[in-house]
A and B are shown apart, each in its own frame.
Chain A
Amino acid sequence: EVQLVESGGGLVQPGGSLRLSCAASGFTFTNDWMAWVRQAPGKGLQWVASINQDGTGKYYVDSVKGRFTISRDNAKNSLYLQMNSLRAEDTALYYCARDIEPGGQGALVTVSS
């Protein structure tokens, strides 16, 4: 059974940083692109970033370019999202996704003073 478990969410002030982690199991992690998808309160789904199998290809939605960094550790079956210069509009539930398929409960990130 595919499992994706997000962690690292929390309350942070505008301009602050957070690092999300995702522990993957139940599939061959190194075979798949991975992604982060977010959902602001009461809003629809928004893709945030994707990374290819060996980590050499990284893609971001325009609104997070230069602020967020996606990475992976294939030895640990883990995906990460380093979020810097956080803004109020980054407040959302962040889902770890296999390709574009979210698999966990999400990590809540709240950016507020």
Chain B
Amino acid sequence: QAGLTQPPSVSKGLRQTATLTCTGNSDNVGNQGAAWLQQHQGHPPKLLSYRNNNRPSRISERFSASRSGSTASLTITGLQPEDEADYYCSAWDARLTAWVFGGGTKLTVL
């Protein structure tokens, strides 16, 4: 089952804005959107955004998700040291009847 495409790494400065992308197709991201998860080294992943781009109540407003066609994006404003983590996108593929994940993007905050 083919996965979603994410850049392996992104580096941004403290207090800057990072935009992470996730590219799929019309069967997955383009169909129902993508969820975003954050994972710090040695910790379980945490959901940042549902497929409808809504945030769980516990997630900071600095994190926002959007979609254009078959590409989903996660924008993180006012980057903080604690934002340094791996970020994964995931979408339900209606043709494969399977969840597909991206390979993850390692965000470095300089």
Q: Is A14 an interface residue (CB 8 A)?
A: no
A37 and B90 CA atoms in complex are apart in Å by: 11
Query: B97 and A47: CB pair below 8 A?
Result: no
Q: Is the CB of A47 within 8 A of B35?
A: no
A61 contacts B101, C-beta separation under 8 Å: no
CB distance from A77 to the nearest CB of B (A): 20
A50 to B104, CA, bound (A): 21
Contact A105 B98 (CB under 8 A): no
Chain A's nearest CB lies how many Å from the CB of B72?
13
Contact present for B98 and A59 (CB under 8 Å) = yes
Nearest Cβ on chain B to A22's Cβ, whole angstroms = 13
Assess whether B104 is in contact with A44, with CB atoms less than 8 Å apart: yes
- Cα(A106)–Cα(B39), bound, Å: 13
Q: What secondary structure prevails in chain B residues at the interface with A?
A: strand
Q: Which residues of A contact B88 (CB under 8 A)?
A: 44-45
Q: With an 8 A cutoff between CB atoms, is A89 at the interface?
A: no
Restricting to A69-112, which residues have a CB under 8 Å from any CB of B? Answer: 95, 100-102, 104-106
Taken together as a complex, chains A and B put the C-alpha atoms of A100 and B45 apart, in Å, by 11
Least CB separation from B99: chain A residue: A47
B104 x A45 contact (CB < 8 A): yes
- Does the CB pair B1–A44 fall under 8 Å? no
Q: Does B85 sit at the interface, judged by CB under 8 A? A: no
B residues engaging A (CB < 8 A)?
A: 1, 35, 37, 39, 44-47, 86, 88, 90, 92, 97-104
A residues near B (Cβ < 8 Å) are 35, 37, 44-47, 50, 59-62, 95, 100-102, 104-106
